[in-house]
Structure 1
């Protein structure tokens, strides 16, 4: 607990609450440990705020650092080791050594593998869960705790994190154990798709699913079966976003565009909305530079982040357009960006 208490301080040592926490970390850890062992620990109140990401409103619950210490120990030493063995390799969200670009690489590999066997015949089934965190069924999570966490004291701590959300549905965004719970929540569905339906080209990134099938008919059968099983588990499928796409046509998955060509090459493009935002921001930064509130060097540093994103895809044209726009707005007649 002391080790993970130190981990909680990384990156937030400028906060007064973090400084107080670290100053009394040794004695505070002993007190919190005793409360956990005595069964008296309960999550405290969280700081609630709202984030708006590209039009999506996300309510965030930020726990106090005292609770974050216990959350981190619970996640790293209990939930991750218990849930990890039951998760498929192609579940790429919120795991060490994986992530969004890991999932992109796996999806590209699945498309190439499909092309070697079937060519451009087949379909891609895409599925999305509706309100994945707010609609998570507590009964399903408690059932997994009962099955996997044998120590009643540890199970009580894990249950307390879930109970902190009123009602019988929902998990908090911003709480570390909630993230681990939700990443592995559909593992039974994942294993059914991979093992029993024997779909090699299937993957799962948080609330988004993709599966590559050999025919449109097979894709429709899998769609009906998987949606039925997901809803039987208590998960809510967004039927408007769930669709089947011909494999020869481009499709979007997690804000990226994928296209399998007739030569077997997979072409990927980043989020096109990012270009609109980048152009809008660059023109705004021009007014800030003219007012003396920003420097051209600061804008150039921001630009490198935008370019680095598109360099992960086949978006050389977008990279050039961003550099040319920066050159036209800020540099003028100079010969460099």
Structure 2
């Protein structure tokens, strides 16, 4: 047997093993009746109420949860359930303006069961460890920690020589290709009834393109959507210092030339699948210079120490709000204790980085506006100490 034949035989064995694993994971779900059992739907229905029990719709939903769960389960099993309309509202979070599409809580119960019992068990085995967005036990600061570990790993071997490759997708949620999502459903969701339900949730998006923010299945779909690119970079290119947070990519490479080649090929592969790459935010930066990723600044010092700084725009917003709160305190709309409680948030954020100077500036501004020259028994003298 020649080397080409042996390689082809190994490839076929790997393909067969992966097919068996996909079939095993799909069989383990138990089909539509097993996934949407009454106990599972009731459990996730209770979880939908957490944090929003002040709403009248949530109180009415929980009041009729026993009978409502049975009714919705019967609709799902008979194929009569259809996703309802969503409520759209604007949200400005950390200076980023977004449109959120919120489904009714009765639909959220179905969405949560589909996400937790179908999409997550089937998608997560194909996702890399360094994909930390919207995953249990992970998150943004987990990603910051992994990026610093990758930089230290690189510095121990190559020093500050090399480059950082950064890539960002354009309109990741609004322009998500449905054809790519349906292709993943056909590949991973082998039960026809579960696949039809997952397709129905995707097809309910108006316009036939994009996935809505605020709908739980769309979050899981979009987190796992670029897995083909993650596995190519991690497994085929063997890039140890590569990670992925939603639509942002970073990779530490040993030379600028290789980083440029990886950049060009990654953009080509992503666009071939229908994903739009924001070329204005795709950069190759030398490691001896600071770079920004997810609004945090990273810098490798000549000694090898890695320092990080939080988003500088947050300081501007915090100072502006403190001065506005001073006016509200003067008019009696707020009390100083409320301002002190609010200030714990910005301080806790900057204390996670090497931003001791910014923490001191916020405390000094608070002291100058609310404490200096006033009676100490009427105000809160210490913040975050």
Superposed pair shares fold, TM > 0.5: yes
Residue 324 of structure 1 corresponds to: 364
Residue 137 of structure 2 corresponds to: 97
Query: Does the 8 Å contact 1:39/1:156 carry over to 2?
Result: no
Residue 232 of structure 1 corresponds to: 272
From 158, 172, 188, the equivalent of 1:118 is 158
d(CA) in 2 for partners of 1:168, 1:21:
30
Residue 79 of structure 1 corresponds to: 119
Higher relative helix content: 2
1:277 to partner: Cα distance: 0.5
Residue 76 of structure 2 corresponds to: 36
Moved more, 109-118 or 155-164: 155-164
1:11 to partner: Cα distance: 1.2
Cα deviation digits, residues 285-309 of structure 1 (max 9, x gap): 0000001110111101111111000
Residue 25 of structure 2 corresponds to: none
Structure 2 spans left out of the alignment, 5+ residues: 1-40
Corresponding position: 1:7 with 2:39: no
Q: How does 1:1-337 map to 2 (within 5 A)?
A: 1-333=41-373, 336-337=381-382
Query: Does the 8 Å contact 2:44/2:112 carry over to 1?
Result: yes
d(CA) in 1 for partners of 2:169, 2:198:
24
Query: Does the 8 Å contact 2:213/2:219 carry over to 1?
Result: yes
1:168 to partner: Cα distance: 3.7
d(CA) in 2 for partners of 1:274, 1:167:
36
1:42 to partner: Cα distance: 1.0
d(CA) in 2 for partners of 1:113, 1:276:
34
Q: Provide the aligned C-alpha RMSD in A.
A: 1.1
1:55 to partner: Cα distance: 4.9
Query: Does the 8 Å contact 2:173/2:211 carry over to 1?
Result: yes
Query: Does the 8 Å contact 2:94/2:314 carry over to 1?
Result: no
After the TM superposition, list the runs of 4 or more consecutive aligned residues in structure 1 that deviate by more than 6 angstroms.
Answer: none
Cα deviation digits, residues 104-132 of structure 1 (max 9, x gap): 00000000000000001000000000000
Q: Secondary structure at the match of 1:161?
A: helix
Query: Does the 8 Å contact 1:41/1:157 carry over to 2?
Result: no
Q: Secondary structure at the match of 1:167?
A: helix
d(CA) in 2 for partners of 1:196, 1:64:
43
For this pair of structures, how many residues does the alignment match? 337
Structure 1 spans left out of the alignment, 5+ residues: none
Q: Which has the larger radius of gyration?
A: 2
